[in-house]
Structure 1
Amino acid sequence: MDTIPAYERDPYAATLETRVLRTGAEQGRPFAILEDTILYPEGGGQPADRGTLGGVTVLDVQKREGEIRHFLASPLAEGPALMELDWTRRFDHMQQHTGQHLLTAVAQDRFGWGTTAFHLGAAVCDIEVTAASMSLRDLEVLEEAVAAEIRACRGISARRVSPETYKLEAVRSRGLPEGHTGDIRLVQIAGVDLNTCGGTHLRHTGEIEVLKLLGTEPIRGGTRLFYVAGRRARLRLDAHEKRNAALRALLGAPDEDLAPALQTKLDQLQAAERRVRRLEDDLAEVQATALATRPEALVEAHLEGRDMAFLQKLAKQAVSAAPTKAVFLTSETGGQGLFLLSAGEACALDVPALGKAVAALLGAKGGGSGKTFQGKAPGLAARAEALARLREG
């Protein structure tokens, strides 16, 4: 491979005629070492590129012991091979990464906030800065300042310098990687920033398109600042617009009234849920009285659609009113069978043993101790057999 790989010489190259020099496997994953590559290997906070090599999908690209390994979906033979880059993914990374350089520079120059970390996520990016906190006004000022530099279409260039020249440059950097030797790559945003970086970047700030700050959270004494840039920002806005359109249709309210309209619906739902709970309490009390007054020692009932909480409430009230009785309750809800066996304090029924027997008959999972055993079953087809087993004692 050339001293400078193709992804660095021309980050806009989407195809490359290259050659597979050597193949191997790492932990069962086949990889290829190439003569040259347009696929960026993971590093510096930027994820690895994706693409194809000789028609085979490249799953990952990593630096290992001075070489670049292209991990493949299947083994590939040595020899010439056409490499194709997933350009949409790459350009997204270029927008996010270049946006980070600009955001870091403006945050430092405008507020004195140093950047200590960068993360290019699949959906959202973030930088960690030394600010203990940020106000909403700070974020507004920062975002506007970044937008001004995007509109200025400031040129972006990369060059390599010797360690001696590097010491003479006015570089904004968190420092070189541990053990680094040889030339140092500098990325410059004209009139704004000069930084060490090995990643892929845009030609000018105008290609960032837009950078939107999303929010913050405290971290390690500083602040994590979330953002999206470029096409991600447009896709995010599109998703918000579609979501708002759906909410407008559901709530019958314009955008500015969606939150109040939703709050009204939630208040109404909570009030309805409270009424339902009161009605369920009343129903449980009536049904518990009916169960407690039945003559048999083991009373049973099937209550379609009731949850376990209702079965527990009903059983508790029934055996409290009739301590010498046992209660067997079942329900089917959401395609699942529920059962509960409970005995009063004066009832001699061996609930744990019989509960396990019922669970076995129903093919259920359950448990309990003392006076109550409950469980969930795929269905209640064997309910009659379970009831017969309980009546045997």
Structure 2
Amino acid sequence: MKEQLFYLDPYIKEFTATIEKHEQTTDGKWYIVLDQTAFYPTGGGQPHDEGFIENEFVVDVQQVDGEIRHYLNHNLQLKEKQVKASINWERRFDHMQQHAGQHILSAAFTELFGFETVSFHLGKSILTIDLAVAEISSQQVSAAEERANQMILHNHKIDTKWLSLDEAESYPLRKQPSVLDQVRLVIIPNIDYNPCGGTHPKTTGEVRAIKILGWEQQKGNVRMQFICGNRVITQLAQKHEVMTKLTELVNAPEQEVCKAVRRLLESEKNLEKKLEQTEEKLLTYEAREWLENGSAIRKIFINRPLKELQKLAKLLVSFSSEVNVFLVAQNNNQIQIVGAKGKESTVEVKKIFTEMLPLINGKGGGSEFFVQGGGEAILSGEEFLEKIKNFNS
């Protein structure tokens, strides 16, 4: 490649180039290699650019075997080798803001506390850096965020230089270069000197702002989650919209929303507890009513939760030591069964249950006194219960 335009000028949005290679990979993906390109390939923690070559969308850009490959949605049908190309500027500038913001925040942590950044990831919605420290305080995080935004506000120049390894090592590098020949150094004078292959704006002011969203321990390090630039504005707008809706829903000002939500949650817990108590009373009444008709209880239900069948069976055996019970529910395309017996009952509930399950391709298990399971609705609930009634134990 003659020129990597994204290094000469990261603000280039459109360009013309000559096709040097137009091939297809073994898995059927078409790609183009150009004599010069403004498309940044994935690397150094920064995602690739997107855009168009003529009328075909560039879905991916990768550096493979020393060449930059532009992968396309479809084969490019052209008679001429010279093409017009354009990059998605919104995506590119976002990456420039985020990458420069990472340099600034990492520099702030190094300057204030000596915390080294050991990894970096630029995601679609947030960025992360891993700091080589086991623990971090909220005061340290706030101080680093404030220092980073001061660096942005002062609008320092961001410069780049291509240097030999020896020349690069004469600078106070924040990290050691990963290459042994030509080193691309990104410089924020008197603040940060960092070997980096990514794209960055001309000044720190273009980063606009940095906001740390949270952090967690990660394999002996601290992983910091943050956003920069236009993402701060976008997420602020999203959060403001959510907060506005919440204030309307809970009928409270923004400062009182948390208290109002806590009250609602506590009220919900109390209502759920009262509902459970009421359901328990109703199930108790239902179980006692069944016992009035004898100790052998066989019932069929449609779309009744298994949890209720379990509660009913347990209530019945707690009320009578002689009871034996089979409760069957047909729920959609499934048959669910609960069986139980009191301590003095001679009915072999588990044996009946075990021998009946194959009729519905069922699975289940339990003890001598309580079983549960289910299977396919090969038989209707009524047919299955009838077979239980006729079972000769």
Code of the residue aligned with 2:61 in structure 1: it is V
Aligned AA for 1:159?
K
* Residue of structure 2 equivalent to 1:384: 382
Percent pairwise identity: 28
Greater mean deviation of Cα atoms: 139-148 or 253-262: 139-148
Local SS of the residue matching 2:25: strand
| 1:9 aligned partner | 8
* Secondary structure at 1:147 match in 2: helix
Deviations 1:258-289 (A, max 9, x none): 11111111111111111122222222222222
The residue number in structure 1 matching 2:53 is 53
Please give the TM-score of this superposition, normalised by the length of structure 1.
Answer: 0.87
Equivalent-residue separation in structure 1 for 2:216 and 2:162 (angstroms): 36
Q: Which residue number corresponds to residue 307 of structure 1?
A: 305
Aligned partner of 2:314 among 297, 313, 316: 316
Count of paired positions: 380
The residue aligned with 1:176 is 177
**Aligned with 1:45: secondary structure?**
coil
State the Cα distance separating 1:52 from its structure 2 match: 2.6
Inter-CA distance 214–8: structure 2 relative to 1 (3 Å threshold):
same
How far apart, CA to CA, are the structure 1 residues paired with 2:234 and 2:167?
42
1:1-393 correspondence to structure 2 within 5 Å: 1-2=1-2, 4-22=3-21, 23-77=23-77, 79-168=81-170, 170-177=171-178, 180-295=179-294, 297-302=296-301, 306-319=304-317, 321=320, 323=322, 325-330=324-329, 339-344=336-341, 346-348=346-348, 350-357=352-359, 359=360, 367-369=364-366, 371-375=370-374, 382-393=380-391
Q: CA deviation at 1:257?
A: 0.9
In structure 1, distance between residues paired with 2:205 and 2:330: 63
Structure 2: distance between partners of 1:73 and 1:324 = 70
* Residue type of the alignment partner of 1:48: H
Distance 2:26 2:180 in 1: 26
CA distance in structure 2 between the partners assigned to 1:376 and 1:80 by the alignment: 67
Shift of 1:89: 1.6
Paired residue secondary structure (1:300): strand
Cα distance between partner residues in 2 of 1:154 and 1:10: 18
1:56 maps to amino acid: E
- 1:343/1:351 contact within 8 Å kept: no
Gaps of 5+ in 2: none
Q: Partners of 2:19 and 2:371 in 1: how far apart? A: 69
Q: Secondary structure at the match of 2:37?
A: coil
Distance 1:71 1:171, change over 3 A: farther
| Cα RMSD for the two superposed structures | 2.7
Give the superposition deviation at 1:216. Answer: 2.1
8 Å CA contact 1:52, 1:58 repeated in 2: yes
Question: What per-residue deviation string (whole Å, max 9, x for no partner) do you get for residues 188-232 of structure 1?
Answer: 123322211110101111111111112222234432222111111
Which secondary structure state, in structure 1, belongs to the residue aligned with residue 36 of structure 2? Answer: coil
2: CA distance between counterparts of 1:71 and 1:181?
29
User: Take 1:235 and 1:154, find their aligned partners in 2: how far apart are those partners?
Assistant: 24
Instruction: Check whether the contact 1:291–1:299 (CA below 8 A) recurs between aligned residues.
Output: no
The Cα offsets for residues 140-195 of structure 1, whole Å up to 9 and x where unpaired, read as: 22222211211111111212122342233x14242222xx3432111112332221
Report the alpha carbon displacement of residue 96 of structure 1 after superposing the two structures with TM. 0.7
The amino acid across from 2:310 in the alignment is Q
Cα 1:38–1:297 shift into 2, 3 Å: same
Determine the C-alpha separation between the residues in 1 that align with 2:363 and 2:253. 49
Structure 2 Cα separation of the partners of residues 246 and 376 of structure 1: 45
> Which range is displaced more, 259-268 or 190-199?
190-199
TM-score, normalization by structure 2? 0.87
SS of corresponding position for 2:125:
coil
**5+ residue gaps in structure 1?**
none
With over 3 angstroms needed to count, the CA separation of the structure-2 counterparts of 1:7 and 1:326, relative to structure 1, is: same
Residue 28 of structure 1 and its aligned partner are, at CA, apart by 4.0
Tell me the SS of whatever aligns to 2:82.
strand
What amino acid is aligned across from residue 266 of structure 2 in structure 1? Answer: D
